[in-house]
Structure 1
């Protein structure tokens, strides 16, 4: 009988957790809402590995919550919970929270525990990501015959969530590969992801990749403080201007641009933003309550805006996470979100150049997608962000290790 030591069991659990994270793109391509389950499983494996090895879980998981950014993030979550007290749709609010919190917990576990164990799976993770993108390209080119043969929904937009997850992962993963001398694989991975995004119907993926790439390019020429400042200004501007986004676009967006972007339903998006902006103006301080966007037309605040504005409140969410925070959590929630962003950027100022640039690119990419695409509390996105942060922190550890060796 083979007797395994606690260290060997812990190493096996850590390795399995890392493998599960590496498999995330393929899992999302197979089932485009699977990331919370994948990241939750990886988090449990890594937690079990840390506990088996006797690692200081208090320092790993609790201490970060006592930092300024950790306490502010907790305050934001507390305000989300407090807002349930005045939610006119408590069942919907609780259901939304019950989906978001487990995904957030899994993302936190992975972001905190996975980084030291991701190095050995970096190369397999890149090839999995490449294979996933090639599968997406091939299936789209064939008219989705693979999805049809597998009995899955035959719709090109079914690949949007997998590609948005890939978009989050590609920045830290390719930076990690480049930092460890695998520049060819990094370049190949980035190129294949770009091709898959371009062939897809996910404009948000293309937009996110472009924002991240432009950020990386700009940061090559900007001092660290200027890069952080510009990224922060863009994200804070998106948050501050979110309630009037619809009115601004309605006044400034030319008809020719609407026609060129007809596939992106820009007219409908402007109308949605105007409707939710009007709701914010009607109740700016505390918001309608966490998770109410799913049936915002039934919230009391909807009765206080013009009848022609109410129709677009029934779309499920404002397609702008910044605006959703305003609509559901009011100025208090928006202020806390802004503080989390500012404190995060301040913490990044101490990072090494490559890790900091990659983090800012990831922020820019995720921020612009959040500004134009999905709901704020969607579990699949939260889990994907957790995986991306894990790779980002793995990159930071790798850079620090290389610095120490020198």
Structure 2
């Protein structure tokens, strides 16, 4: 009696699958959980996870062909505009007063971008669902850890200000990763599980109340709801509002300061911050063209170049450091990215819009422009969305009745 042929076991492919599973486990589970208790967790663990993904792809070659993927990226208007921002940042080193610090920060930025591109090119063309289900698992575990820390205190955790503490950074990462987790679960028709994950993350933010993360999650939820009911309107609003605010940022203090003075009084901290911003715009209008150079918005406060109460938001820092060239290029890159996100997979569009809105809100409220942990969080979010998009190659299973008809037709 002939025996059935035994499947060929390839140890190299098994090793690649194991490395890829460990890489995704580190990226989707370990990073969100450890970010709640360690300030530099994402900066240390995320690169290791990406390197594991790169090694796995080098072994089994399951990633997309590099040349078509690279050509498509180079033809992307958003990518080219982003590269213009990086080029202008590099040119601004010629007139920045903090050359060594600016060069170091630019090198960090380039490293994060390079790592993101490596991860992008190494992701498999078709993602296994078992790997992607690690994402909601990791977000859920991280939310539970954050709830415990919020209820019982985090005095033993590495300290810092509320926004820059370990828990603050971890909650910011949660406010971003919850949207791809929700988008993935909805794409698998697990709406109740998606709602449970979102509510759990909201509970984690409430347990450790911080304005930045709560507002970011709320804005993301609005974008998600609008895009779910009106996808085209939600995409246009998200792209227009985010890019428009960045492009018109120098006009904001002239509009917002009178409103803030009427509501909170002229001596409110936020109003005084807008006054400082307004003074910067009016006293040096020529520098709005070239900017003051990379890294001047942060370090200039300590040497008298920038008022100490000047805003610490991306809107101010883009214009102050990179001027009209860098700011408008960044605004165009943001607009093109939002319009392009999820176009091939409509079911992911609400989650993508929510992630864009949440990230932009965090940047506007007060995260530094090129803080490494923040750039790493953005890079992780991008890679996660690319991964779940490549997991949509089969969104539904054939019905039993259809399988029965095919079987009966074949038998006949």
Q: Compute the TM-score of the two structures, normalised by the length of structure 1.
A: 0.84
Choose which of 113, 127, 136 in structure 1 pairs with 2:146: 136
Aligned residue in 1 for 2:308:
312
State whether residues 101 and 295 of structure 2, in contact with CA within 8 Å, keep that contact through their aligned partners in structure 1: yes
CA offsets per residue over residues 357-384 of structure 1, 9 Å max, x none? 2211111111122111211111111111
CA offsets per residue over residues 313-370 of structure 1, 9 Å max, x none? 6x7xx32212211111111101211221232234237333221222111111111221
State whether residues 302 and 308 of structure 2, in contact with CA within 8 Å, keep that contact through their aligned partners in structure 1: no
Aligned residue in 1 for 2:58:
51
C-alpha distance in structure 2 between counterparts of 1:154 and 1:357, whole Å: 34
Task: For residue 119 of structure 1, report the CA deviation from its aligned partner.
Answer: 3.1
C-alpha distance in structure 2 between counterparts of 1:82 and 1:404, whole Å: 53
Going from structure 1 to structure 2, the CA distance change for 1:286 and 1:179 (only over 3 Å counts) comes to: same
Aligned residue in 1 for 2:210:
202
CA offsets per residue over residues 122-178 of structure 1, 9 Å max, x none? 44432332232222222232233xx42x6x338655221110111110001111022
Aligned residue in 2 for 1:367:
360
State whether residues 47 and 113 of structure 1, in contact with CA within 8 Å, keep that contact through their aligned partners in structure 2: yes
C-alpha distance in structure 2 between counterparts of 1:388 and 1:107, whole Å: 10
Greater alpha carbon shift after TM alignment, 273-282 vs 384-393 = 273-282
Going from structure 1 to structure 2, the CA distance change for 1:299 and 1:153 (only over 3 Å counts) comes to: closer
Task: For residue 62 of structure 1, report the CA deviation from its aligned partner.
Answer: 6.4
Greater alpha carbon shift after TM alignment, 110-119 vs 394-403 = 110-119
Tell me if 1:88 matches 2:97: yes
C-alpha distance in structure 1 between counterparts of 2:284 and 2:223, whole Å: 31
Larger Rg belongs to: 2
Unaligned runs of 5+ in 1: 303-309
Greater alpha carbon shift after TM alignment, 9-18 vs 370-379 = 9-18
Choose which of 170, 175, 182 in structure 1 pairs with 2:183: 175
State whether residues 204 and 372 of structure 1, in contact with CA within 8 Å, keep that contact through their aligned partners in structure 2: yes
State whether residues 246 and 274 of structure 1, in contact with CA within 8 Å, keep that contact through their aligned partners in structure 2: yes
C-alpha distance in structure 2 between counterparts of 1:281 and 1:35, whole Å: 39
State whether residues 280 and 326 of structure 1, in contact with CA within 8 Å, keep that contact through their aligned partners in structure 2: no
Secondary structure of the equivalent of 1:381?
helix
State whether residues 225 and 350 of structure 2, in contact with CA within 8 Å, keep that contact through their aligned partners in structure 1: no
State whether residues 245 and 277 of structure 1, in contact with CA within 8 Å, keep that contact through their aligned partners in structure 2: no
C-alpha distance in structure 2 between counterparts of 1:92 and 1:214, whole Å: 38
C-alpha distance in structure 1 between counterparts of 2:109 and 2:68, whole Å: 25
C-alpha distance in structure 1 between counterparts of 2:146 and 2:342, whole Å: 37
State whether residues 213 and 361 of structure 1, in contact with CA within 8 Å, keep that contact through their aligned partners in structure 2: yes
Tell me if 1:289 matches 2:293: yes
Aligned residue in 1 for 2:43:
36
C-alpha distance in structure 2 between counterparts of 1:299 and 1:156, whole Å: 25
Aligned residue in 2 for 1:231:
238
Q: Compute the TM-score of the two structures, normalised by the length of structure 2.
A: 0.83
Aligned residue in 2 for 1:78:
87
Tell me if 1:164 matches 2:172: yes
Q: Report matched runs for 1:200-279 at 5 Å.
A: 200-224=208-232, 226-254=233-261, 256-257=263-264, 266-267=270-271, 269-271=273-275, 273-274=277-278, 276-278=280-282
Greater alpha carbon shift after TM alignment, 155-164 vs 21-30 = 155-164
State whether residues 231 and 349 of structure 2, in contact with CA within 8 Å, keep that contact through their aligned partners in structure 1: no
State whether residues 212 and 365 of structure 1, in contact with CA within 8 Å, keep that contact through their aligned partners in structure 2: yes
State whether residues 23 and 52 of structure 2, in contact with CA within 8 Å, keep that contact through their aligned partners in structure 1: yes
State whether residues 243 and 280 of structure 1, in contact with CA within 8 Å, keep that contact through their aligned partners in structure 2: no
Going from structure 1 to structure 2, the CA distance change for 1:250 and 1:120 (only over 3 Å counts) comes to: same
State whether residues 118 and 391 of structure 1, in contact with CA within 8 Å, keep that contact through their aligned partners in structure 2: no
C-alpha distance in structure 2 between counterparts of 1:279 and 1:113, whole Å: 48
Secondary structure of the equivalent of 1:87?
coil
Secondary structure of the equivalent of 1:402?
coil
Counting matched residue pairs gives 384
Task: For residue 193 of structure 1, report the CA deviation from its aligned partner.
Answer: 0.6
Secondary structure of the equivalent of 2:97?
coil
C-alpha distance in structure 2 between counterparts of 1:399 and 1:328, whole Å: 40
Aligned residue in 2 for 1:344:
337
Going from structure 1 to structure 2, the CA distance change for 1:343 and 1:404 (only over 3 Å counts) comes to: farther
State whether residues 216 and 358 of structure 2, in contact with CA within 8 Å, keep that contact through their aligned partners in structure 1: yes
Greater alpha carbon shift after TM alignment, 11-20 vs 127-136 = 127-136
Task: Give the helix-richer structure, 1 or 2.
Answer: 1
Secondary structure of the equivalent of 1:285?
helix
Unaligned runs of 5+ in 2: 1-8, 400-412
Greater alpha carbon shift after TM alignment, 95-104 vs 56-65 = 56-65
Going from structure 1 to structure 2, the CA distance change for 1:280 and 1:21 (only over 3 Å counts) comes to: farther
C-alpha distance in structure 2 between counterparts of 1:285 and 1:28, whole Å: 38
C-alpha distance in structure 2 between counterparts of 1:387 and 1:185, whole Å: 22
